[in-house]
Amino acid sequence: MSVETNEILSSYGTTVFEVMSRLAIENEAVNLGQGFPDEDGPEDIRQIAAEGLVSGPNQYPPMMGHPDLRQAVAEHNLRFYGLEINWQKEVLVTSGATEALADCCLALLNPGDEVILIEPLYDCYLPLVERAGATPIPIRITPPEWKLDRDALEAAFSDKTKFILLNSPMNPAGKVFNENDLSFIASLVIKHDCIALCDEVYEHIFFEKHQHKPLMTFEGMRDRCIRIGSAGKSFSLTGWKVGYITAPEMLLATITKSHQFLTFTTPPNLQIAVAAGLRKDVSYFNDLAIEMQQKRDYLKAGLEKLGFSVIECEGTYFLTVDISSMSSGMNDVDFCKDMTVNGGVAAVPVSAFYKNDAPDHFIRCCFCKKYDVLEEALRRLARYLNKHEDQVIEAAKAHERS
């Protein structure tokens, strides 16, 4: 039988996260590839989910989301960003940020529309935009500074631009767009009378002087932004796949149309538990960022001692690592495979985050892992690269949590 399947989705392989995780399992490698913490998030949240599962109800919650979670999302917007949100009309609960992104692309895009994307980009953006019939217009930020090229961005806008998809803090670059960049982006969105789809799943994972400020808080942007969050990242519960969209009523009404035909709803016990999470004290969110920052520093120090050049990371779970002087001429894809199979440590090739003409000498290493897992990864890499194991661990431990 020959069935002609969708030509856009058929043209994509299996996602790099799954490919590298499978290879890591096959080779019993330490997995610094796919971005997930290896410690589950707060027990009190998980307890609420467990109790909700046993006591019920376990039937369809309202299509737009459990009222408790929608209210909690609105409260969270007000508490952290001063955004006044109508929880009944401006919040939608989704099965993860991925569904939220799909809902938005399917609801907003028509053939002929253009979507501005910033490379290196998260893997589902291109297929979702293309499958929705629009044309991706990629621009790129370049390491080591990951500076926004304002001329290129300005030139990417046209009268066909439907939205810019902005991910800040940005996976995999670890960039947190600063106030100046955001003001500039806002001015272009307003000038071209379009909108911004803001993937803010790492909204609570930023470091040092860097701060996350939603584009929606900028002047003139309240009704031009769609803001996406994820419990996976904010509560270290990536397997739950609970996401939430905050958007002006006029846009959310249409986005809800795609949601109703895609998933319709999300497990009720998880929604109630995430609502409690969003109401946690500010210290919980601060501690999350501090813990991630310490792990970042630990892994960075170890990788640098091994001889890698590591690019500054302002937020997210990820370090971008330059392998040029360490990979014996292998490109990022081959190096990641070799490192997994022969070194017992998996990472993700950064070329997977580009549409065309990708740089081929960067890999992404995830640091949201237990310290002993990070230590084991560094020990294995030291042996793989013939480096002095104890010196590498000593350098990393200089940054360990006291």
Q: Is the separation of the CB atoms in 389 and 383 below 8 Å?
A: yes
| Strand residue runs (E) in 104-248 | 114-119, 135-140, 161-167, 195-199, 225-230, 243-246
Q: Is 230 in the site for ligand GLN (CB under 6 A)?
A: no
User: Considering only residues 82-111, where is the footprint of ligand PMP by CB under 6 A?
Assistant: 96-98
User: Considering only residues 195-214, where is the footprint of ligand PMP by CB under 6 A?
Assistant: 199, 201
User: Considering only residues 23-42, where is the footprint of ligand GLN by CB under 6 A?
Assistant: 34-35
Distance CA 365, CA 361 (A): 13
Token pair of 198 as six digits? 């803001």
**Residue closer to ligand PMP (CB basis): 275 or 393:** 275
Which of ligand PMP, ligand GLN, none interacts with 17 (beta carbon under 5 to 8 A by kind)?
A: ligand GLN
| Interaction pattern, residues 160-199, with ligand GLN; x per rule: CB under 6 A | -----------x----------------------------
Distance CA 232, CA 274 (A): 10
CB of 17 to ligand GLN, least distance (A): 3
Q: Is 122 in the site for ligand PMP (CB under 6 A)?
A: yes
Backbone angles phi, psi at 238, to 5 degrees: -65, -30
Q: Is the separation of the CB atoms in 33 and 366 below 8 Å?
A: yes
Distance CA 365, CA 298 (A): 12
Q: Is 270 in the site for ligand PMP (CB under 6 A)?
A: no
Three-state DSSP at 315 gives strand
Q: How many helical (H) and strand (E) elements, i.e. helices and strands, does the chain have?
A: 15, 13
Q: Is 353 in the site for ligand PMP (CB under 6 A)?
A: no
Q: DSSP state, 149?
A: -
Which residue's CB comes closest to ligand GLN? 35
Distance CA 31, CA 68 (A): 36
**Residue closer to ligand PMP (CB basis): 241 or 305:** 241
Q: Which amino acid is at 178?
A: N
Among 187-195, 232-240, 244-252, 371-379, the segment contacting ligand PMP (CB under 6 A) = 232-240
CB of 96 to ligand GLN, least distance (A): 9
* Interface residue list for ligand PMP (CB under 6 A): 35, 96-98, 122, 167, 171, 199, 201, 230, 232-233, 238, 241, 243
* Interface residue list for ligand GLN (CB under 6 A): 17, 34-35, 171
